[in-house]
Amino acid sequence: MSTEAVTWAMDHAPMLRTEKGKPDTTARHVLQALAEHASPAGADAHPSVLRLQYRTGYDRATVQRALRRLEKGGLIAKDGMRESRTRWKLAMELRRPVTDWADLEREEDEFRAAAAERKRRSRSKGVTHAESVTVTDAEGVTVTHGESVTDDVTHSKSVRHALKVRSSRTERSPNHPQPSDNQLLKDSSPAAKPDEQQAHTAPVQTKSSSEKKNHHLEAFGAFWSNYPKKRDREEAKKAWIAAIERGVEPKHMVDAAQAYARERAGKDPQYTKYPATWLNKGCYDDEPDRPPLRAVSGGYQPYRNPTDQSVYDEDL
């Protein structure tokens, strides 16, 4: 086998094209197999068609058609016969255009740009840009990417109070004396009725997003320790948070993971689901498999007439 001939067939030989303009990969493969039997100068290549079939995996007709295309393209030429086999000479003086590599790089860049554009469009479809928002009786209001907010928000007494409470709690310094909720209510709604003032005097106590996240992650630790197959922890954590955002209770998933671990005990771990797959498919709502029926000692016994004749003499 000649390294020079094989390198030429793989890298430097011109690429033939099909009628549709696609690379002729079949002819390329046959050329490489032919080069393995050539001299360093590309001559004296005389493998049988059967040998080319064996090396390429193509049938006899496919190999012969590929040889004719290579000969027509000027990459190989007949150089007599040897042992009743055609001897071929490779046209190693031919070289592949340097623009082929540049074309491949351009196609790769276009593919990546198109993929990025598809991803951007897919993300933009999941974002809803509302032109107006109306909120009533809310403890806190957060508006993102909103072009405008209707007067119903600013003119609502309960929401105006909630906005006042949130802004004041955010802007106060730790050492500054904090006004009472009654004072905030009086500032935001001087004409409010006494019963409305009393309804808003209760302090608002809500967990911060970081506290909720830490609580969910602590529950995830319990899930992870009970799940029978510990693979791809980060992917499982993402699926866990997504399930909680869908409204699934953490305790329900932990209990279901324990039940699934008991179900898979003693079975082939190859068929145990990955935790992320188990969470994404909502397997925590699956019913557990029923235990298999156990065989009764003695097996099935057909009915037989009693041998005791006194049974037939009993009154019905």
Q: How confident is the model at residue 27, as a pLDDT? A: 95
Domain 3-90: give its CATH architecture: Orthogonal Bundle (1.10)
Q: Express as a percent the part of the chain with pLDDT over 70.
A: 65
- Dump pLDDT digits (tens) for 33-85: 999 999 999 999 999 999 999 999 999 999 999 999 999 999 999 999 988 89
pLDDT band at 266; cut points 50, 70, 90: confident
How far is residue 55's CA from residue 35's CA, in Å, rounded to a whole number?
12
Span 9-14, mean pLDDT? Answer: 93
pLDDT band at 170; cut points 50, 70, 90: very low
- Going from N- to C-terminal start, the domains of the chain cover 3-90, 209-285
How far is residue 26's CA from residue 66's CA, in Å, rounded to a whole number?
7
* pLDDT at 151 exceeding the cut of 90: no
pLDDT band at 168; cut points 50, 70, 90: very low
Residue 83 CA, chain-centre distance (Å), reads 57
Q: How confident is the model at residue 307, as a pLDDT? A: 77
* pLDDT at 155 exceeding the cut of 70: no
- Residue 142 contacts by C-beta under 8 Å, 6 or more apart in sequence? none
- Dump pLDDT digits (tens) for 75-127: 999 999 988 899 999 999 999 998 888 888 889 999 999 999 998 888 888 76
How far is residue 118's CA from residue 168's CA, in Å, rounded to a whole number?
43
pLDDT band at 287; cut points 50, 70, 90: confident
* pLDDT at 129 exceeding the cut of 60: no
Tokens at residue 188, please?
């935001």
Span 149-175, mean pLDDT? Answer: 48
Instruction: Select the more confidently predicted residue: 95 or 149.
Output: 95
CA angle 37, 40, 45 (to 5 degrees): 30
